[in-house]
Amino acid sequence: MTIDDRHFMQIALDLAARGCRYTSPNPMVGAVVVKNSTIVGSGYHEAVGGPHGEVNAIHQAGDQARDATLYVTLEPCNHEGRTPPCTEKILASGIKKVVSAMNDPNPRVAGGGNAFLASRGVKIVSGVCEAEARKLNEAFIKFVQTGKPFVVLKCAATLDGRIATRTGDAKWISNDLSRQFVHRRRHEADAILVGIGTIKADDPSLTTRLPGPVYGKSPRDPSRIILDSRLSISETASVLRVESDSDTIIVTGPIDDHPDLLKKRLRLMEQGAILLECPLKNGRIDLSVLMEKLGSLNITRLLVEGGSQVLASALAHGIADKVMFFYGPKILGGDDGKPVCAGKGPEFMAQSIPVRDIVVKQFGDDVMIEGYLNSAGQE
């Protein structure tokens, strides 16, 4: 690997990031075609069902692609999907060398694209900026290997660990800069999940609110998922009336033949909500089963925004891959506010959940701590 290899691959990675959310459930892929140390073509996978990144880059390069080097953030595909195999486009273009950041994480096809190109005389180099490429597509990696979404837990807390006062007031712990960062994360997520307590206390819309377009495109709303085991949601809740292209999904326990709940279920569905039944565990939605159901809906990245019981349940079920905790410079000074997590914790500090690969960012006076809990997508 050379300095030039890393330079051109970083450009390809920056291009790939432009497809975030628009390509889901496909990966983000960027590519550049380089000839005589000059970029002659570039592109990225812009939307699911559209041409892949390397195809767009080769198309832009035209005849200059012959005998050039292709830098691509993911091993070129060698199978027929929504689009033809990228390997065929590469061979037809006359590219002599392919440098990829990582192999395809799909165990059914991993290595196939590189092997096919190598057998046709194309020089293959892989593993350039691999760590960066894996982080970029961490949600896709987990999804394609497990069939479950990559789960990020988000909360905003005071310095003494409270997400609201005893009355439930939480506006605002974090500042405008932090909230804008969170809305960008909402745009990137396929879905956002909260508990019915948050809906009743705050009546949120759970939409993406950004000041302008993202890479020239309108920001996307995540699907809104509400955990509501007893189907107690108000039929006038904002999440049921918001104008959005995304779905509102209400996750409830088994309704059986309860006449009142069956009627309410029908009314909610008439409002456009999707009702998803899930088994209960200790009286609450079994989140492990729910992750499988959400995966079957092609939800690859899930942002969990609380409150206390939902965050605690997510940790107890072991479904979380990443945390994103914001701390505002405020202190409540009592023990009656709402904690980050509710319920019984471990007896000993040795039983706590370790957080690794910590990143600390500052947004004005707010501090965000981000880190990983599980190894999915990070090996």
pLDDT tens-digit series, residues 46-86:
998 899 999 999 999 999 999 999 999 999 988 766 677 89
SS3 25: coil
- Categorize the per-residue pLDDT at 2 as very low, low, confident or very high, splitting at 50, 70 and 90: low
Q: Quote the pLDDT of residue 171.
A: 87
By DSSP bridging, strand 123-126 and strand 301-304 are unpaired
Q: How confident is the model at residue 283 (pLDDT cuts 50, 70, 90)?
A: confident
Distances (CA, A) of 316 to 32, 337, 343: 44, 22, 10
- Whole-angstrom distance, CA of residue 153 vs CA of residue 185: 11
Active site residue 75: no
What mean pLDDT value characterizes the chain? 92
Residue range 247-253: mean pLDDT, rounded? 96
3-state helix, strand, coil in the chain (%, to 5): 30, 25, 45
pLDDT at 272 over 50: yes
**Does the CA dihedral 59-60-64-67 come out positive or negative?**
negative
Whole-angstrom Cα distance, residue 273 to residue 285? 18
Structure tokens at 238: 């904002």
Alpha-carbon span 186 to 21, nearest angstrom = 10
Mean pLDDT across the stretch 156-183?
94
Convert the pLDDT of each residue in 292-320 to its tens digit: 999 999 999 999 997 899 999 999 999 99
Residue-level pLDDT at 379: 37
Q: What is the pLDDT of residue 49?
A: 87
∠ CA 194-299-136, nearest 5°, is 100
Answer yes or no: is pLDDT of 208 > 70: yes
DSSP, collapsed to helix, strand or coil, labels residue 252 as strand
pTM value > 0.75: yes
Amino acid found at 65: A
DSSP output for 163-174: EE-TT---TTSS
Between CA 16 and CA 20 the distance in angstroms is: 8
Of the residues 46, 54, 75, 138, only one is catalytic, namely 54
The per-residue pLDDT for 378 is 39
In angstroms, the Cα distances linking 29 to 2, 55, 85 are 21, 10, 14
Looking at residue 213, what is its pLDDT? 85
Q: Which two tokens stand for residue 295?
A: 């995966």
Tell me how far the alpha carbon of residue 183 is from its chain's centroid.
Answer: 13
Give the pLDDT band of residue 377 (cuts 50, 70, 90): very low
Averaged pLDDT for residues 20-25: 92
